[in-house]
């Protein structure tokens, strides 16, 4: 039976809008005292800090702080480093944007596999040539998709790809630790990549970026993939070695790619209209679908409402003494 909720004190590092705060309070469903800002309030008493890259000041200001909630999936390296000085804090994520990221991953896969963009560009110039260039293989149905990372995004993708009649396999850090969907044919660990990659016509990357996963796909791994394989990355760009990915696509060793995450990002508003995504000219390749990290769909009303609802769910669980979802393993990095 759920314990009676207590009043909780929450500090948001980044202040939500008034509408978002109202939704959050309504979803919590019991008294909650809220403060906001990059600096700690006077006489801080917050139990819960909601921040992605929490400052040392916010982590240390309140003597009552027990829990840090990162308002997205993942653990920023700067936060991981700072938390080494606060081993008593429990850390949790939310996965509110998993549906949006999974949908974009599926869109990137279909667009890259079916060569939609080159065909569109040709037909805009009244060129029908792509119609007479057969795709090989012609169908995703019956092909094998290897999903690396079976978190919220990976599980959603597995359902979608299963619906397309694909064979689904997955790679996880600890195979067998938790249940996987019954239609996932097999699960493997990272050490099994040389054995499973040659079977994968589609490679979907949904992993968090950690010390263990950085450059987990390089020249060697790309070489294991069959000809015409398609790679989709909605995790982090650094999961794939940059130069190796460009060379594999440029030479045709890798059939195509759909990429939503990059090696270089704007750091100012003026950068937004002219910054290349990499030191390599991915933009010149016709077998790449480029997406400007839109998988999370952040800033949209629906997604921000989902964020507030997930944050409220975590706060409510904490206050009622229930298990708080999505606990972060600081040693593992996610």
Nearest to 39 by CA among 64, 11, 16: 11
- Confidence band, pLDDT 50/70/90 cuts, at residue 333: confident
- Confidence band, pLDDT 50/70/90 cuts, at residue 4: low
Q: 239 or 297: whose pLDDT is higher? A: 239
Do the Cβ atoms of 32 and 25 come closer than 8 Å?
yes
pLDDT higher than threshold 60 for residue 2: no
d(CA 18, CA 289): 37
pLDDT 10s digits, 210-266: 989 999 999 999 999 999 999 999 999 999 999 999 999 999 999 999 999 999 999
- Confidence band, pLDDT 50/70/90 cuts, at residue 5: low
d(CA 179, CA 317): 23
d(CA 82, CA 67): 14
- Confidence band, pLDDT 50/70/90 cuts, at residue 1: very low
d(CA 16, CA 320): 24
Predicted pLDDT of residue 296: 82
- Confidence band, pLDDT 50/70/90 cuts, at residue 190: very high
Predicted pLDDT of residue 176: 84
pLDDT 10s digits, 30-88: 889 999 999 999 999 999 999 999 999 999 999 999 999 999 988 998 999 999 999 99
d(CA 237, CA 246): 12
**Mean pLDDT, the chain, integer:** 94
pTM (2 decimals)?
Answer: 0.91
Query: Could you give the domains of the chain?
Result: 8-96+300-319 (3.40.50.720), 98-290 (3.40.50.720)
pLDDT higher than threshold 80 for residue 297: no
Strands (DSSP E) contained in 197-251 are 202-205, 230-233
């Amino acid at each position: 039976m759920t314990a009676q909720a207590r009043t909780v004190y929450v500090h948001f590092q980044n202040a939500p809008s008034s509408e978002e705060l109202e939704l959050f309070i309504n979803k919590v469903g019991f008294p909650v005292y809220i403060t906001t800002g990059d600096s700690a309030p006077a006489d801080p008493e917050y139990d819960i800090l909601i921040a992605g890259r929490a400052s040392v000041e916010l982590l240390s200001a309140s003597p009552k702080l027990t829990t840090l909630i990162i308002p997205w999936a993942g653990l920023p390296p700067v936060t991981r480093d700072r938390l080494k000085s606060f081993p008593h804090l429990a850390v949790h994520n939310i996965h509110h944007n998993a549906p949006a990221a999974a949908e974009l991953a599926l869109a990137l896969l279909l667009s890259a596999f079916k060569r939609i963009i080159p065909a569109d560009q040709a037909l805009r110039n009244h060129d029908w040539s792509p119609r007479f260039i057969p795709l090989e293989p012609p169908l995703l149905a019956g092909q094998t998709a290897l999903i690396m990372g079976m978190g919220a995004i990976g599980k959603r993708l597995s359902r979608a790809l299963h619906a397309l009649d694909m064979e689904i396999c997955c790679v996880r850090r600890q195979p067998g630790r938790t249940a996987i969907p019954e239609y996932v044919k097999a699960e493997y660990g990272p050490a099994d990549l040389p054995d499973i990659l040659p079977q994968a016509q589609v490679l979907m990357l949904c992993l968090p970026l950690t010390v263990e996963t950085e450059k987990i796909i390089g020249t060697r791994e790309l070489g294991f993939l069959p000809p015409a394989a398609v790679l989709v990355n909605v995790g982090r760009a650094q999961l794939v070695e940059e130069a190796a990915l460009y060379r594999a696509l440029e030479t045709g060793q890798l059939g195509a790619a759909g990429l939503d995450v990059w090696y270089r990002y704007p750091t100012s508003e003026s950068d937004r209209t002219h910054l290349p995504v990499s030191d390599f000219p991915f933009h010149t390749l016709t077998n790449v679908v480029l997406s400007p990290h839109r998988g999370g769909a952040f800033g949209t009303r629906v997604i921000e409402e989902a964020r507030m609802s997930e944050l409220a769910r975590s706060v409510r669980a904490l206050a009622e003494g229930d298990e708080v979802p999505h606990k972060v393993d600081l040693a593992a990095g996610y």
